[in-house]
Amino acid sequence: MGIIEKLRLDNKKAFVTGGARGIGYSIAGALAEAGADVAIVDMDEGAAKKAAEEIAAATGRTALALRTDVTQKAEVEAMIERLLEEFGRIDAAFCNAGICMNISAVDMSLEDWNKVIAINLTGVFLTAQAAGKAMIRQGGGSIVTTASMSAHIVNVPQPQCSYNASKAAVIQLTKSLAVEWALKNVRVNSISPGYIGTDLTLSSPVLKPLIEQWNAMAPLRRLGRPEELQAIAVYLAGDTSAFTTGSDFIIDGAFTCI
């Protein structure tokens, strides 16, 4: 079997949190295109259903839509149980859901701080924990978290201390889980995207004015595209990455090199 065939995800079962749009939607589509059945896990049930229908129609794979609040342990556990009922197993889990608030440190309320940490860090832990338990029982699997280049640098000019801190914590959480579960055959890695031109970024009245400044600083002078994260996602979900765990993959067009 050649390397292209080995990269296929035929009949693997996966879920993507925050999968209804943006990076999550692009990753879910790539997994299905590579042969996996996928679940779109998102707070927006309508958007999740629409995404699942589009992915199923485009790839011929099974795509489910599951409304889940990743900050709520009971909802996460119920989501995992539902997936196991539908799919029988979970081979790949993408803990991708996240938010960002551009609020200066002196103005940030405790409520806003806690909201960012709850979704970006606690939500990643709860979904990884629940998926990890299922994978340990079945004999293995792959978990991928979405961190950010913001875990490695302080973005400017936007103030986003809570986001930066949460994403740095995601990387250390990822490494910790990778070590704990290494002998359980459960691999845990993170992807750290740079500035990606999602619909939300391109249309946001807060972020859109900053794009020109970001591009002026970037070695490639442009934003990344969601589809430019697909290859690493498919690689990490499959068996060819069997020796890859505890790693963080920075996909940022060399932005953090400067």
Name the token pair of 192: 């750290």
Q: Which residues fall within 8 angstroms of residue 151, CB to CB, at 6 or more apart?
A: 164, 167, 168, 170, 171, 192, 248
Instruction: Tell me whether residue 163 is one of the annotated catalytic residues.
Output: yes
Instruction: Tell me whether residue 208 is one of the annotated catalytic residues.
Output: no
The C-alpha angle 39, 1, 84, rounded to 5 degrees, equals 20
Q: Which of 167, 190, 192, 241 is catalytic?
A: 167
Distance CA 65, CA 33 (A): 17
Instruction: Tell me whether residue 167 is one of the annotated catalytic residues.
Output: yes
Inter-residue contact 143 to 250 (CB < 8 Å): no
Q: Which of 148, 166, 190, 241 is catalytic?
A: 148
Task: Mark residue 255 as left, alpha or beta (left: phi above 0; alpha: psi -120 to 50; beta: remaining).
Answer: alpha
Q: Which of 142, 163, 190, 195 is catalytic?
A: 163
Phi, psi of 39 (to 5 degrees): -115, 130
The torsion of the CA quartet 121, 68, 155, 200, rounded to 10 degrees, works out to 180
User: Taking the CA atoms of the chain, what radius of gyration do you get in angstroms?
Assistant: 17
Q: Which residues fall within 8 angstroms of residue 5, CB to CB, at 6 or more apart?
A: none
Write out the catalytic residue numbers: 148, 163, 167
